[in-house]
Structure 1
Amino acid sequence: MKKIQKLLIPKGVRVIVISDIHGELNLLKELLHKVNFKDDDYLIINGDLCEKGNDSIGVVNYVMDLVVSKPNVYVVEGNCEVVVEALVNENPALINYLCTRKNTIFNEWLGKLNITVNEESDIREVKNILMSYFSKEIKWLTELPTAIETEDYIFVHAGLEDRENWRQTDRKNAIAMPEFFNKSHRADKYVIVGHWPVVNYSEEAPSNNPVIDKEKKIIAIDGGNAIKEAGQLNAFIIQRTTSGDTFSYTYVDHFPQYEVLADFNANSVMQGGVTYPHYYIEPVERMKGFTVCKQLGTNELLHVKNEYIKQLESGEYTVKTDISCAQLSVRNGDVVSLIDGSCAGYDLIKKDGVEGWIEKGILLELEKKGNTIFS
């Protein structure tokens, strides 16, 4: 990769890393408010500002403004930003992309101009129109660095190749490499990535929280926002100190919050979850509320909520979406998010970023956030 930005981050400051915003402007503003983002903080946006959410224009313009108005805001390109190059290079495949994907910055731009695209649209004409009105944004997106290198960290959207000179990593891999947390690298510093939802790495109850491998020096922070139904937007926080950096994180999501009214003790046998790419299952024993299933591809036995089991026309079984197969222990007074309250006997909740089931009837909805706007 050619576009590597060098950055000096002094000791004594806070570094806030956010990735995979995916057009969710309100969540981004809420998250920056939650971490109390200030001018002396360093903010790293680690790729995928746009696509998939419903306000990619808003996110791109907001971040562009932050880069100008704040002293220490830096942005890395992700695979979703690189899609803009398909427009610049007049790739005809982009027309099919626009016809099949509603939530994309291109369709948002075209919508502002009251223009719709169909299979017969000409890519050169689309390019000329968008370049006439949005050349500033397009230029900014195409000039983003592929990686930011500091004394102790490398910020890159997807990962690095396991090679002696990490700078020789192919750009396509840097922005789109799958499951980097399960791989390795030979850089002599922490590599912080997004791109691959961390819930895909979960072995016990599905967790959307950042994960750290201190031995391999890999930190993965993609909370699955706008990708996973129970996803969240994470902020990974590095506190720089002379005695060594410390790590923490927080998150925001769209789910309503509830107070727990009674203790519930999880069945420790119920663990794990079904997530990408192992969605196919084989029912073994149907029980009240859940069915014990063998997960094809891993051969693990999981308790899948009956409402989430789907039989295909072929006779095979799968799950309707990524789903936790774990129960969570909660205590009276805990505050949790409700993901699904429509199932019999149990509610699907998120507690501190972890998804699982609790007994139905012990939740009280808290006052809604309302329409709070964070500027």
Structure 2
Amino acid sequence: MKTTVNKINVPSDRRIIVTSDVHGHYKHLKNLLETVNFSEEDILFIIGDIIEKGPESLKTLRYVMDICKKYTVYVLMGNVDAWRLTMFEDDDAESNEELLDYIIYMKERWGGCFFADMCDELNFCISSPSDIPEAKLRISKSFNDEFEFLRSLPTIIETQNFIFVHGGLPTADIDSLVGDDAFNVLKNDAFINKNLYFPKYVIVGHWPVTLYGDKIACSKPIVNHNQKIISIDGGCGLKRDGQLNALIIPDINSADFTFSSYDDFPIDIAMTSQEESANSVNIRYTDNKIKILEKGDEFSYVQHITTGYCFYILNSYIYSYSENSTCDDYTDYCLPVKVGDELSVIQKTSRGYLVKKDGISGWYRGS
């Protein structure tokens, strides 16, 4: 897959809404667009990873295809979208075994996948690698529109003041990237940390923004005016506390950015206030090795190997209790809370509530 660049001029009198990394969460996307009152007067950019790692990939893709017909919508390729196309087009015995293993894993881990959704709609059961060629044949005939839509997606869109790309750019000279391997711009991990600067704002998804913070888990878009990079992936579906973000640009010539988001956590009202914790940690999968110091029934006391920081963690977040223990993304941060604050409740425990407030995850010990 090669890098492609579409250049468009956006009218100066229309609001721009940008989202990314929907990952098969149809309800999140639909509710997010309702939250921001998306209409035919707006322009919507969806910057990749429409499918996979969620329960309704096929339904989500069709919803995106439908709104493209009714509204002004620009959709870009994501690394996951591209990988699924590549996986489907590979045609040998080894790739068939890999695809079967992938389908089984995705259904167990995420509740479904793009290929499984299509097979389910066709009432075709895959039980062995030998079933894969027939499944691909039937899928190709029945879902040609969906595949053609995915294959048509550009990897970069440039406008007057903004560049949209899923992962990131290795250079500001985007014309020089045309024809290169698309994965160089689709999968550009920790893009902000590359110390690159751009003349136009580069808006990306791919890398959940919470991965940038080592103290506090925050899912809100990051706007770096110095580098002119905006990262908006809220970890929808991938993170237990994730959300689907929408960056809102009031006008193509404006840098007065706001954002909205959607998640499906229940909301409760804080009855007591709480002070912010002085110290905290945000463990991320990129650095998640821990040492178990004391195992408990619900929580265990552990030490983060890299920093030496000790904290209590829910056992359900610990992957193993061996010498090479690791954990899921986790924070011990206590949020500053006032009476009457609305808190999204992620999990209730015997030691308080794991909640989210204004896109920031943490603990609330009150009632």
State whether residues 290 and 303 of structure 1, in contact with CA within 8 Å, keep that contact through their aligned partners in structure 2.
no
Query: Structure 1 or 2: larger helix share?
Result: 2
Q: Match for residue 246 of structure 1?
A: 256
Contact 1:292 1:303 in 2 (8 A): yes
Aligned equivalents of 2:33 and 2:136: distance in 1? 34
SS at match of 1:141: helix
Name the structure 1 match of 2:194: 183
Candidates 111, 125, 130, aligned match of 1:121: 130
1:98 CA displacement = 2.3
Tell me the equivalent position of 2:346.
339
8 Å CA contact retained: 2:161, 2:252: no
Q: 1:167 to 1:261 in 2, by over 3 A?
A: farther
Map of 2:244 onto structure 1: 233
The residue aligned with 1:172 is 183
For 1:8 and 1:300, how far apart are their aligned partners in 2?
51
Look up the match of 2:276: 266
- Aligned mates of 2:250, 2:195 — CA distance in 1: 25
Q: Which residue is equivalent to 1:43?
A: 44
Q: 1:184 to 1:167 in 2, by over 3 A?
A: farther
Out of 239, 250, 256, the residue aligned to residue 266 of structure 2 is: 256
For 2:75 and 2:238, the matched residues in 1 are separated by: 21
Question: Structure 1 CA distance, aligned partners of 2:159 and 2:256?
Answer: 16
Deviation track 1:249-278 (CA, whole Å, cap 9, x = no partner) reads 111112100011111113323x22111211
Distance in 2 of aligned mates of 1:164 and 1:76: 19
Runs of 5+ unmatched residues, structure 2 = none
SS in 1 for 2:17: strand
Cα distance, 1:301–1:118 mapped onto 2, change above 3 Å: same
Size of the alignment, in residue pairs? Answer: 354
Residue correspondence of structure 1 range 258-337 to structure 2 within 5 A: 258-269=268-279, 271-282=280-291, 293-297=302-306, 299=307, 301-305=309-313, 307=315, 310=318, 312=320, 314-319=322-327, 321-337=328-344
**Which stretch of structure 1 is more off in the superposition, 233-242 or 128-137?**
233-242
Tell me how far apart the structure 1 counterparts of residues 272 and 32 of structure 2 sit (CA, whole Å).
30
Matches within 5 A, 1:48-63: 48-63=49-64
Change (3 A) 1:310 1:17: closer
CA contact (8 A) 1:14 1:41 kept: yes
Letter in 2 for 1:34: T
Deviation at 1:80, TM superposition (A): 2.1
Amino acid at match of 2:64: V
Aligned CA distance change for structure 1 residues 290 and 328 (closer, same or farther; 3 Å): farther
Does 1:157 pair with 2:166? Answer: yes
| Preserved contact between residue 162 and residue 184 of structure 1 (Cα < 8 Å) | no
Whole-angstrom CA distance in 1 between matches of 2:6 and 2:252: 23
Query: Any residues of structure 2 matched to 1:104-119 within 5 Å, and which?
Result: 104-119=113-128
Pairwise CA distance, 1:96: 3.1
Structure 2 residue aligned with 1:144, among 153, 156, 160? 153
Q: Percent identity?
A: 33
Deviation at 1:215, TM superposition (A): 1.3
Distance 2:252 2:141 in 1: 47
Q: 1:281 to 1:135 in 2, by over 3 A?
A: same
Q: Cα offset for 1:332?
A: 0.7
**2:78 corresponds to which residue?**
78
Q: TM-score, normalised by structure 2?
A: 0.89
Q: TM-score, normalised by structure 1?
A: 0.87
